[in-house]
Chains A and B, each alone.
Chain A
């Protein structure tokens, strides 16, 4: 329902500067600079209590920060600025459907915007169709299943055609099956609507599916922010690496570079990566566990296009449901590999077993060491 003129893509729609939130003298949020760019889905990722929901409430003008300011299109706005709030809509962890029918819920924001009743009906029907709940208008909103309720909550926000959509852990209450289905739907809907979205979650898989950019939060601060592949691929600190499921952060230096393939020296080992960075550059390197394939050394290695073959030793094995997370070590370099339980059994993986870790140069994420903030 926003009547703002179209904006060039990528420009900040919302900027938050010098944000500090204190509860009873305890600082729960300290974010010097945060922006949400036009048309992007920006995921804010972090463990429980890291301040990500507080950041969303501040950016969404639902909570006044103790210090700092928020601006919309470069104009300072505040919690009391209802016009600014009317350009946003939120979906929370709990769908918080109101007593009444599905239709009354989805039409709630439209009624607040004084959209005529007949026009409202059409908008509601379209929004429900968009979230796969066509024809449920007359049903009681409070008798829906968890997945349906969350879809209604999404429809209730999308029907407003907000410029900014705020999503606070919208899938965390749902069971894994519905969650998997909905995360794909959310991603599709956000892309199709072209809406600018702030997506708060503690689930990195969810963030990787929906987001263009990611900010990782810890103890009220943003410790890593950037393009989703870069942030999720190149940890800048042990904590960030641990949080995104990688085994430590790797620091190295590019020794040679030829035809887009760089040779990076890390802890006395050489790793090949696809990067435009030049020799002499200090870099941070990340290899996602799912990109690493393991071979037993006794088996011999078939011819492969993977340029990286490291002789390593199994340090620990962690059960992760249907997969095993194998922590590997050599010369002080640590790496994680994700293998199925069946593969781990067939390879006879256990602590101390020698293996060869295979991964492609394209699977190695590289970022300049000076270009990213040091993690906390």
Chain B
């Protein structure tokens, strides 16, 4: 038990003393996961709306693919992204020829980490959004249309009606990436000052036998996740007085 108290004390000390190393990896973690989540939400919420609100051939198949994607192992995503962006990767040749011979050098950089995290979080955002949108009665959209709503108005109203579910989708996406280590370590390389984030730092400290520091970083990560999720929950619940 003592090791936990020591870890909490160490974590508090690192934060209180403004340890540049700790703050650096916290900032990078938030930057990578934040940008990834923004991209995944910008693509995933509209995609979830379209899949959840429209009836089209192959909808069940698309839904099944999305649901499967929700369980994608981050390490597999990391592997695929590695194969795509590595110069020696088996998928990079096709990719390079498609881009007209230009090979973006993004392996072991933040963009590669963001790409991997977008791939991990996108199915989570799409899957939960489409379930939330699907629970809004079709006739409610018909009601909006009957009052003069255009397709955009209808989409905005549906997402507003499914707001709690959509916020849960964003939270699920965030939860899926802030804590993952497999993909960011494979495509980021855990380079200090460049691509090291909270999770890869914890793995490194553990490998070095610094369990106390690893645990301290773990507590800081949990604390940050708690604060962000709490904010999201507040947003999700706000306006509840206008609901049943």
Q: Are A142 and B147 in contact (CB under 8 A)?
A: no
Contact of B148 among A57, A112, A166 (CB under 8 A): A112
Contact of B160 among A89, A99, A142, A143 (CB under 8 A): A99
Instruction: Give the chain A neighbours of B157 by CB distance below 8 A.
Output: 98
Is B153 at the interface (CB under 8 A from chain A)? yes
Q: Which residue of A lies closest to B137 (CB)?
A: A96
Interface residues of A in 90-123 (CB under 8 A from B): 90, 92, 94, 96, 98-101, 108-109, 112-113
- Name the segment of A80-88, A257-265, A338-346 touching the other chain: A80-88
Given known contacts A92-B143, A96-B139, A98-B157, A142 and B242 CB-to-CB distance under 8 angstroms: yes
Is B142 at the interface (CB under 8 A from chain A)? yes
Complex Cα–Cα for A142 and B242 (A): 7
Q: Are B148 and A90 in contact (CB under 8 A)?
A: no
Given known contacts A99-B160, A142-B242, A142-B244, A166 and B140 CB-to-CB distance under 8 angstroms: no
Contacts between chains A and B (CB distance < 8 A), count: 65
Q: Are A160 and B143 in contact (CB under 8 A)?
A: no
Complex Cα–Cα for A112 and B156 (A): 12
Q: Are B146 and A140 in contact (CB under 8 A)?
A: no
Q: Are A86 and B148 in contact (CB under 8 A)?
A: yes
Complex Cα–Cα for A88 and B148 (A): 8
By DSSP majority rule, is chain A's interface helix, strand, loop, or mixed? mixed
Instruction: Give the chain A neighbours of B142 by CB distance below 8 A.
Output: 57, 62, 92
Q: Are B244 and A62 in contact (CB under 8 A)?
A: no
Is B243 at the interface (CB under 8 A from chain A)? yes
Complex Cα–Cα for A34 and B123 (A): 48
Complex Cα–Cα for A92 and B147 (A): 11
Binary per-residue interface labels of chain A (135-147) against chain B in the complex, 1 for a CB within 8 Å, 0 otherwise: 0000011110000
Complex Cα–Cα for A162 and B84 (A): 57
Instruction: Give the chain A neighbours of B58 by CB distance below 8 A.
Output: none
Is A235 at the interface (CB under 8 A from chain B)? no
Is B209 at the interface (CB under 8 A from chain A)? no
Binary per-residue interface labels of chain A (327-354) against chain B in the complex, 1 for a CB within 8 Å, 0 otherwise: 0000000000000000000000000000
- Complex A-B: 10 CB contacts under 8 Å: A57-B142, A82-B150, A90-B146, A99-B243, A100-B239, A100-B242, A108-B147, A109-B147, A112-B153, A142-B243
* 10 closest Cβ pairs, A-B complex: A90-B146, A109-B147, A96-B143, A140-B242, A112-B148, A86-B148, A96-B140, A142-B244, A100-B242, A109-B148
Given known contacts A92-B139, A94-B139, A112-B153, A99 and B146 CB-to-CB distance under 8 angstroms: no
Contacts A100-B242, A112-B149 known; 17 new A-B pairs at CB < 8 A: A57-B142, A62-B145, A62-B146, A86-B148, A88-B146, A89-B148, A90-B147, A92-B146, A94-B139, A98-B160, A99-B160, A99-B161, A99-B239, A101-B242, A108-B144, A112-B153, A160-B147
Q: Are A143 and B145 in contact (CB under 8 A)?
A: no
Complex Cα–Cα for A100 and B160 (A): 10
Min distance, Cβ B179 to any Cβ of chain A, angstroms: 32
Q: Which residue of B lies closest to A94 (CB)?
A: B139
Min distance, Cβ A111 to any Cβ of chain B, angstroms: 9
Interface size on A, residues (CB 8 A): 28
Q: Which residue of A lies closest to B145 (CB)?
A: A62
Min distance, Cβ B243 to any Cβ of chain A, angstroms: 6
Is A60 at the interface (CB under 8 A from chain B)? yes
Binary per-residue interface labels of chain B (193-225) against chain A in the complex, 1 for a CB within 8 Å, 0 otherwise: 000000000000000000000000000000000
Instruction: Give the chain A neighbours of B241 by CB distance below 8 A.
Output: 140
Min distance, Cβ B82 to any Cβ of chain A, angstroms: 44
Q: Are A156 and B147 in contact (CB under 8 A)?
A: yes
Q: Are B147 and A157 in contact (CB under 8 A)?
A: yes
Min distance, Cβ A139 to any Cβ of chain B, angstroms: 9
Q: Are B137 and A99 in contact (CB under 8 A)?
A: no
Complex Cα–Cα for A156 and B148 (A): 12
Min distance, Cβ B163 to any Cβ of chain A, angstroms: 8
Binary per-residue interface labels of chain B (127-166) against chain A in the complex, 1 for a CB within 8 Å, 0 otherwise: 0000000000101101111111110010001001101000
Q: Which residue of A lies closest to B141 (CB)?
A: A96
Q: Which residue of B lies closest to A113 (CB)?
A: B148
Q: Are B243 and A140 in contact (CB under 8 A)?
A: yes
Q: Which residue of B lies closest to A82 (CB)?
A: B150
Contact of B242 among A85, A86, A99, A108 (CB under 8 A): A99
Contact of B146 among A100, A113, A141, A166 (CB under 8 A): A166
Instruction: Give the chain B neighbours of A166 by CB distance below 8 A.
Output: 146
Interface residues of B in 16-71 (CB under 8 A from A): none
Complex Cα–Cα for A274 and B139 (A): 47
Min distance, Cβ A72 to any Cβ of chain B, angstroms: 14
Min distance, Cβ A291 to any Cβ of chain B, angstroms: 39
Instruction: Give the chain A neighbours of B239 by CB distance below 8 A.
Output: 99-100
Of B143, B149, B160, chain A has the most CB atoms within 10 Å of the CB of B143
Q: Which residue of B lies closest to A142 (CB)?
A: B244
Given known contacts A96-B139, A98-B161, A160 and B148 CB-to-CB distance under 8 angstroms: yes
Instruction: Give the chain B neighbours of A92 by CB distance below 8 A.
Output: 139, 142-143, 146
